[in-house]
Amino acid sequence: MTRAKFRCYNITPAGTQTIDGKEVQGKNYAFSAVMVEKDVEGNVTGNKENAIFGMYTPAGSANMTVYNDAVQFEINKEYYLDFTPAN
């Protein structure tokens, strides 16, 4: 398994779909990898865990459209993204 840490930076409405006979409003979520935050002198500031994740996965983005009201991501909140082989 590979784990990355991402921050949700944007949520926009998606279209609607009929699921089980009910109209469901979708949401588009956009995420970017957390980054190492440094001051002008190059010292790491902010969240130390983000500095570690940012060192090993310095760039990345993920987008998904969700049609499930139980899924609620929040802007500026951080999430782990785990990659596990499917087979």
Residue 57 lies in a domain: yes
- Phi-psi category of residue 40: left, alpha or beta, with phi > 0 → left and psi -120 to 50 → alpha: alpha
The whole-number pLDDT of residue 47 equals: 83
Residue span of the structural domain in which 36 resides: 2-80
Which pLDDT score is estimated for 38? 79
- Give a yes or no: residue 10 inside a domain: yes
Task: Show Cβ contacts of residue 70 under 8 Å, excluding neighbours closer than 6 positions.
Answer: none
pLDDT tens figures, 54-69: 888 878 999 999 999 8
Decide if 32 is inside a domain.
yes
**For 6-59, how does the pLDDT look when each residue is reduced to its tens digit (9 = 90+)?**
999 999 999 999 999 999 999 999 999 998 877 888 787 778 898 888 888 878
Number of domains within the chain: 1
Burial class (CB in 10 A: 0-12, 13-18, 19+), 61: exposed
